[in-house]
Amino acid sequence: MYDLDGETAIVTGAAQGFGKAIAELLAEAGANVVLADVQMEKAEDVAAGIRDDGGEAMVVECDVTDVDHTDALVEQTCDRYGSLEVLVNNAGGGGGGTFTDLSPEEWRRVVSLNLDGTFNCSYSAVPKMLEHGNGRIVNISSMAGRNVTLNGNANYTASKWGVIGLSKHLARDLGPDVRANAVCPGGGPDSPMGRGIQAEDVAKTVLYLSTEISSFVTGTLVEVDGGGQLTPSASN
């Protein structure tokens, strides 16, 4: 049911964390996986592990805040594998503190990475997806995009809200040829599920949204937080 055999997926920020787990699971489902990151050594280790398990993977150094980099990422992907079916916009980051601690430079750094990076990769990938008419974009937002982060700053919250809005516009403007959805991870160990979130929880949701089993799902978001929003003390 979760078959990506012969298809190609780009995963940004794939060197660690959610991105690593996503790349590994998509490869397990049969996809050719392109790991895009600035941490080349870590990304190469992930790709080597995928190959050792019988999968197909390559690494492309990519700063998602630079559209020239994302154009090159898509070009190298299609040169190697011939097409691009799945894009997972996972690269992101944030910082702590409150609004009064936030400088314009730090605002721009996080918004550029989380929101501009998602736009840049989508902008570069969409023309290739429209060529075959079966594209899937999965954007990693956050439960901070549903309310407000307790662990980061306003730049992180604002950018993750923006990712959700961008996902909905992509779905509206590109359907039926491209489906676009957002995933909102969150949830601490005091959630109703009795544990905190794990990278595999996010990866499984991305796999669902990347395959034909979710063929009528677009323009929505999936909260992966163990019901954490039901616990007032949960940190999402």
pLDDT, tens digit, 9 for 90 and up, residues 45-95: 999 999 999 999 999 999 999 999 999 999 999 999 999 999 999 999 998
> Per-residue pLDDT averaged across 208-233, rounded?
90
Quickly state the pLDDT bin for 1 (edges 50, 70, 90): confident
| CA pair distance 117, 109, nearest whole angstrom | 11
CA 153, chain centre distance (Å) = 20
* Residue type present at position 158: A
Tell me if residue 156 is catalytic: yes
Q: How many other C-beta atoms are found inside a 10 Å radius of the C-beta of residue 116?
A: 18
What integer pLDDT is reported at residue 57 of this predicted model?
98
Closest CA to 89 of 37, 44, 132, 133: 37
What integer pLDDT is reported at residue 190 of this predicted model?
87
Alpha helices for the chain (secondary structure H) = 17-28, 40-52, 67-81, 104-111, 117-132, 154-174, 199-210
What integer pLDDT is reported at residue 219 of this predicted model?
98
Token pair belonging to 36: 């895009």
At the second CATH level, the architecture of 8-230 is 3-Layer(aba) Sandwich (3.40)
Token pair belonging to 222: 């999936």
Token pair belonging to 67: 């559209």
Say which of 2, 81, 156, 208 is annotated catalytic: 156
pTM: 0.95
